[in-house]
Structure 1
Amino acid sequence: MAIDAIILNKSDNVATAVQALKPGQKAKVRLGREIQETTITEDIPYGHKFAVRSIIAGENIIKYGEIIGRATLAIPIGCHAHVQNIESLRGRGDLQKGV
């Protein structure tokens, strides 16, 4: 069965598109041997992330079972998760100093 996106860890709240996805598309998302469907609500370029469950502003973004950033805005299921709504937490001297 062809898939449209992958999740590598059950704690992930985003999936990675393995092809370009279009609004309204029911993307087949694979986690191990399981396939789930997520309805895409925005254009998702190849290799980009989208939410597989609702993410609230301030919530950690989890990919590969690791925190890769934090949501700056709410990210509904099927929405593009990228620089417009995620901030990095790595290499941030301002966060380390408590600024």
Structure 2
Amino acid sequence: MTDPRLLLLSEKDNVLVVCRRIEAGETVLVGGHAQVLEKTVALGHKLARRPIVAGEKIVKYGAPIGSATRAITPGEHVHVHNLKSDYTKTHVIAEAGS
């Protein structure tokens, strides 16, 4: 069972896509397990579907999009702090007020 605010694009994926902003402190269900989010996760960002080990390929749309730079737990936000592109440099645009 997975939270309805999360979308699985392909059965091959090890990440889920956030369908609407989820605030820090909210609980999400990932694979039937409850996970409290430490930080707000924006629309379109990714959460780990299962444990991901350092160096493992991150798979979205059924295709690898990069590699984990460290271990990632189920329900954890997957983004530039723990994911690197295997194809292009990663660029970060700071949000206003950051």
Name the TM-score, length of structure 1 as normaliser. Answer: 0.73
| Structure 2 unaligned regions, length at least 5 | 90-98
User: Which structure 2 residues correspond to residues 77-96 of structure 1 after superposition, within 5 A?
Assistant: 77-91=74-88
| Partners of 1:38 and 1:77 within 8 A in 2 | no
**Larger fraction in helix:** 1
Give the superposed CA RMSD.
2.3
User: Which structure 2 residues correspond to residues 1-99 of structure 1 after superposition, within 5 A?
Assistant: 3-22=4-23, 23-27=25-29, 39-42=35-38, 43-91=40-88
**Larger fraction in strand:** 1
Q: What displacement does 1:46 show?
A: 1.4
Percent identity between the aligned chains? 36
Name the TM-score, length of structure 2 as normaliser. Answer: 0.74
Give me the whole-angstrom Cα distance separating, in 1, the residues matched to 2:4 and 2:12.
Answer: 19
Deviation digits for residues 33-92 of structure 1 (CA, Å, limit 9, x no counterpart)? xx9665343332111101010001000000010000000011101110000000001136
